[in-house]
Amino acid sequence: MSIFSGAGGLDIGAINAGAQIVVCVENDPDAAQTLRLNNIGGHQSAVLEKSVETVDFTHWRDDSETILIGGPPCQPFSKNGYWVKNDNRLIAGDPRNMLGQYLRAVSELQPTGFLFENVESIRHPTNIAVFERFLHDAEAMGYACTVYRANSADFGVPQKRKRVFVFGIRGAKNPIPHPHKTHSDPGKPELMNGFAPHVGVGSFIKKYSGQRYAEPQEDASNGTYYHELIHVPAGKNYIALSGLDNYSGRTFRAGGRFWNFLQKLHPEEPAITIAAQPGPWVGPFHWDNRRLRVPEVAAIQTFPDDYKFAGNRRSIQKQIGNAVPCLLGEVMVRHLLEKL
């Protein structure tokens, strides 16, 4: 059972890991339609277009081997929230904090195991008390919990995307071990230890470089910072401008902008994290000095080539940016299934 399903990144991963999706719960109309377009769950009625808060999970409780997967909304735990003073953030009372609803689903469904996903910053000092309460309550319900911080690039995804996973196993005496990563940063030889090098984006998005896939939104040539963008070397961001020879244009103080400002892809390196709602000059940009196309963004998130997305361009970007990379989801779900 999948809750907070979004566009189905974790669901696709679960299917590829050998699980069968019985039902998805997603309240965003476009994301729910995306799930239907791709036949997630095998039939249209498998997608419940409603808030998790309104679902009675006891309906699906049975004696078979069932797992619950999902990532509650991460906005309350996002790094963007660090600009707000701690005494004004009220994480525990934030209506977008759905950790309690995830626990209710666990309590009512009583799955054999669960996989919880969220942003890395859920473990930030501002958020850690809420997260530790989540773990305490899950363990009180009889689940041994393993917390794992994953970088998707360490599992063959062409993107550096850090996420926290919690593996819960009902009735287990001890937490399960962490998954074994398969790739590592070749720029840090001391960490390779026989791992394959991180995968670059080039081989994933090359097929979408022709005019057939061109989008009006990709053109940045009339924008405020286009002159600066074309001078940023592949794989770098705005900071690189200060070190260029024979460059005549604006430079920016290091730390004066968000790190992803004017960030550009390098074909032989993983992308930075794909954002759900990027600003106009937030990367990654293509090394051809344009914004990325929908199939390119989806490929970096390792969605299947023929995956369909519902909604307008803004909605699709949000769906893809909020998703768990399918390949990372596959590895995590398979690890859970193997330990049940």
Domain of residue 97, CATH code: 3.40.50.150
pTM for this predicted structure: 0.92
Quickly tell me which residue has 């394959």 as its tokens.
196
The answer as to whether 128 is a domain residue is yes
- Nearest Cα neighbor of 3 from 38, 52, 50 is 52
Segment 10-23, tens digit of pLDDT: 999 999 999 999 99
The answer as to whether 119 is a domain residue is yes
The answer as to whether 194 is a domain residue is no
Q: Transcribe 201-218 into DSSP letters.
A: SHHHHGGG-SGGG--GGG
The answer as to whether 197 is a domain residue is no
Q: Which of 24, 74, 145, 326 is catalytic?
A: 74
Going 272 to 195 to 149 to 102, the CA torsion angle's sign is: positive
Same domain, residue pair 20 and 161:
yes
Rounded to whole angstroms, the Cα distance separating 119 from 319 reads: 15
Q: What is the mean pLDDT of the chain?
A: 92
Q: What's the pLDDT score for residue 191?
A: 80
The structural domain count of the chain equals 2
- Nearest Cα neighbor of 152 from 338, 327, 337 is 327
Same domain, residue pair 179 and 42:
yes
Segment 263-295, tens digit of pLDDT: 999 999 999 999 999 999 999 999 999 999 999
Same domain, residue pair 182 and 90:
yes
Rounded to whole angstroms, the Cα distance separating 253 from 242 reads: 8
The answer as to whether 196 is a domain residue is no
Same domain, residue pair 156 and 289:
no
- The domain in which residue 291 lies consists of 202-311
Same domain, residue pair 177 and 244:
no
Same domain, residue pair 296 and 248:
yes
Q: Where are the alpha helices (DSSP H) in the chain?
A: 9-16, 29-37, 86-89, 99-109, 128-140, 202-205, 226-231, 294-300, 313-322, 326-339
The first and second tokens of residue 159, run together, are 């993107």
Same domain, residue pair 9 and 140:
yes
- Nearest Cα neighbor of 3 from 80, 154, 117, 87 is 117
Same domain, residue pair 229 and 160:
no
Catalytic residue status for 74: yes
Segment 40-99, tens digit of pLDDT: 988 888 999 999 999 999 999 987 899 999 999 855 554 444 333 444 433 344 445 789
Same domain, residue pair 304 and 330:
no
The answer as to whether 82 is a domain residue is yes
Same domain, residue pair 8 and 86:
yes
Same domain, residue pair 50 and 148:
yes
Q: What's the pLDDT score for residue 83?
A: 35
Quickly tell me which residue has 């106009």 as its tokens.
280
The answer as to whether 83 is a domain residue is yes
The answer as to whether 317 is a domain residue is no
Same domain, residue pair 149 and 254:
no
